[in-house]
Amino acid sequence: NAGVTQTPKFRVLKTGQSMTLLCAQDMNHEYMYWYRQDPGMGLRLIHYSVGEGTTAKGEVPDGYNVSRLKKQNFLLGLESAAPSQTSVYFCASSFGLAGGLTGELFFGEGSRLTVL
C-alpha cells in the first residue's frame, strides 16, 4: 500500500539551480497539494490541484511552479532555487475537498531540500 510517494527524499542544491519534486498517489484522489514546513511553523500551502490538468496558488506560491498532467502525479518545480526555499516539502492528496468530511489529507513522508 504505497499511498503518497515523494521523490527525492533529500536534495541539496546550490542557489540558482533548478529541480523538480515528484509526488505520486495510488488512491485515485482528485485533490493534491504541496505544503512546506519550516522550523516553528505550521504547514503552509504552496500550490494545489483540484483535478488533472488544473493547478492553483496557495498561501506561499512565489518561486514555485506545479503541473498535474496525470491524475496520479503532482510535480513541484523550483526554477531558480534560493536559500529561503530550504524546507521540508510535503505532498498530500485527498478524495474530497480538504477540510471537509471526505477531505482527509494523506501525506507523503516529506522531501528535505537544502539550498546553499
Partner 1 sequence: DQQVKQNSPSLSVQEGRISILNCDYTNSMFDYFLWYKKYPAEGPTFLISISSIKDKNEDGRFTVFLNKSAKHLSLHIVPSQPGDSAVYFCAASALQRGSTLGRLYFGRGTQLTVWP
Range 67-96, binding partner 1 (CB under 8 A): 90, 92
- Shortest reach from residue 111's CB to partner 1, in Å: 10
Q: Cβ(112)–Cβ(88) under 8 Å?
A: yes
Task: Give the H/E segment covering residue 42.
Answer: none
Of 8, 12, 53, 56, the one binding partner 1 by CB under 8 A: 56
Residue 99 as a binder of partner 1 (CB under 8 A): the answer is yes
Triad 56, 59, 65: Cα angle to 5°: 45
**Rounded distance, CA 74 to CA 44, Å?**
17
Q: How buried is 99 (Cβ within 10 angstroms: 0-12 exposed, 13-18 middle, 19+ buried)?
A: exposed
Select the residue interacting with partner 1 from 1, 28, 42, 62 (CB under 8 A): 42
**Least gap, CB of 61 to partner 1 (angstroms):** 13
The site for partner 1 (CB under 8 A) is made up of 4, 40-45, 48, 50, 56, 58-59, 90, 92, 97-101, 103-110
